[in-house]
């Protein structure tokens, strides 16, 4: 089976680069490899977008370093400095708006988001999740898949709605679980697919709902 056959809908062969560049805000808590994939797709002319700002909540997040390398402003909003999820989300929304963001990409934002943020960008928030939703919602999706003994898992890019990991699905890629896989090894292979589908799914969302 070719790699392409694992992605649904298929990745576009020629990117749609007409019109104004999408103004993206990316939210990340960790390594930021998905941030990098979006930045690389933009640089390669595969995605007509501009990353206005990265918001990160964890001072150690490597994503911040990646943003600096790409000349993208990186704003730390440490959840420990806020009294509630809503207070954090209000500041996230305000920051995204201040940077002129139109589409919000949750690329490994390891916090539950509240209506305070979701309602500020209705239908314009996108999340990437490391399972074939609706299976294995929530945290430790890869461990959940391994424990369930399914033979196929993957990743999903979807629109964020009030119910966690449940919004309209934009794109999915399937990844087989191989003999001897542990969470780290499986995550590495899932991430290869995440990096392919996230930029394509952003373009698809803008085309479909923009």
Residues that are catalytic? 129
**What sign has the CA pseudo-torsion 167, 170, 174, 175?**
negative
CB of 116 to ligand GRF, least distance (A): 20
Tell me the CA end-to-end span of the chain in Å, nearest whole number: 33
DSSP 92-149: HHHHHHHTT-SEEEESS--S---HHHHTTSTT-EEEEESS-TTSS-SS-HHHHHHHHT
Query: Shortest Cβ distance from residue 83 to ligand GRF (Å)?
Result: 25
Options 2-10, 17-25, 30-38, 143-151: segment touching ligand GRF (CB under 6 A):
30-38
* Residue number with CB closer to ligand GRF (31 or 116): 31
In this complex, which beta carbon is closest to ligand GRF, that of residue 88 or of residue 198?
198
Does residue 33 interact with ligand GRF by CB under 6 A? Answer: yes
Residue 179 DSSP class: T
The residue from 25, 32, 154, 199 that contacts ligand GRF (CB under 6 A) is: 32
Q: Residue 174, SS3? A: strand
Return residues touching ligand GRF (CB under 6 A): 28, 30-34, 107-108, 128-130, 155, 191, 194
């Amino acid at each position: 089976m070719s790699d392409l056959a694992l992605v649904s809908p298929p990745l576009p062969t020629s990117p749609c680069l007409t019109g104004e560049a999408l103004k993206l805000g990316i939210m990340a808590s960790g390594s930021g490899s998905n941030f990098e994939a979006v930045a690389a797709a933009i640089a390669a002319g595969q995605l007509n977008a501009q990353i206005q700002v990265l918001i990160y909540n964890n001072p150690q997040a490597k994503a911040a370093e990646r943003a600096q390398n790409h000349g993208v402003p990186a704003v730390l909003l440490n959840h420990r400095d806020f009294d509630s999820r809503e207070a954090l989300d209000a500041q996230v929304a305000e920051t995204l708006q201040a940077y002129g963001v139109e589409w919000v990409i949750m690329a490994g934002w390891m916090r539950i988001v509240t209506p305070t943020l979701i309602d500020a960008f209705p239908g314009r928030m996108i999340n990437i999740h490391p399972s074939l939703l609706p299976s294995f919602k929530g945290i430790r999706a890869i461990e959940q898949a391994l424990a369930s003994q399914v033979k196929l898992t993957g990743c999903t890019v979807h629109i964020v709605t009030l119910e966690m990991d449940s919004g309209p699905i934009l794109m999915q890629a399937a990844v087989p679980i191989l003999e001897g896989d542990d969470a780290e090894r499986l995550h590495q292979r899932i991430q290869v697919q995440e990096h392919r589908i996230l930029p394509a799914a952003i373009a698809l969302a803008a085309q479909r709902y923009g």
